[in-house]
Amino acid sequence: MTLELASPAPGGASHFLGDTAVLTGRSLRHILRSPDTIITTAVMPIAFLLLFVYVFGGAIQTGTDTPYVDYLLPGILLITIASGISYTAYRLFLDMQGGIFERFQSMPIARASTLWAHVLTSVVANLVSLVIVVGVALLMGFRTGAGVGAWLAVAGILVLFTLALTWIAVIPGLTAKSVDGASAFSYPLIFLPFLSSAFVPTDSMPGPVRWFAENQPVTSIVNSIRALFTGQPVGAELWIALAWCVGILVAAFLAAMAIYRRRIR
């Protein structure tokens, strides 16, 4: 494999951006050669969507006149992201085990560009999966009066959430001892929306579960996206959701970079 990398002064912004672009293109080409990873990422959220709308939906009371597919979709989108980032950890683990990082370090490549390439690839792949899931939801009857601004706000929240979870995925990708260990961390993240307002209102839950559901990040994010889709005032929920996403992103980024510097000297 030959990488044509620009070689301005190492450490410069153009050097970093150029290297990241080349390495991101490399990762995206790998996905294009095996698009089954994107399809697999979308399969489970779509299965949940079908199951809850057509099997459980008639028995679930949301306390609103909103069709259940409209109520459910924001949580399904977060599950899609949580499912997709496991492949980031998997691909990163394979590169670590295959010695790709060591080879890159012997070349005039910006140090952080290898990680950012995996992160940006995750964002692109997850956006494609999200589009597929939204397309299926539309076929199932999902409707929204959201305007362009609301859709852009939803997209911004989902991208920020993807970045936050992807940097979490980088950590096991760098530290795992096996392929299974690299991807298993995502299972709790996938099921976290079940303990939130994604599927049912939190006021229907027993005390301790309700407290957890109302004070974990997924609920604020789901409520914000749901309000944007339905044209309702978002209020403080949006700022809480953004604070969760930014806080997780910063903490995960700092931890991942610290681990990376120790592993790749």
Mean pLDDT in order along the chain per 10 residues (265 residues) = 41 66 77 71 88 83 81 94 86 74 62 81 90 94 90 95 94 84 80 91 90 94 94 88 95 92 74
Res 58: pLDDT: 73
pLDDT at 10: 46
101: Cβ contacts below 8 Å, ≥ 6 apart: 95, 114, 263, 264
pLDDT at res. 101: 61
What pLDDT, on a 0 to 100 scale, did the predictor assign at position 56?
81
The pLDDT assigned to 195 comes to 92
64, amino acid identity:
T
Give residue 107's pLDDT. Answer: 62
Q: What is the dihedral of CA 257, 262, 263, 265, to 10 degrees?
A: 100
Q: Give the pLDDT score at 12.
A: 57
Question: Euclidean distance between the first and final Cα of the chain, in Å?
Answer: 23
pLDDT of 76 reads 95
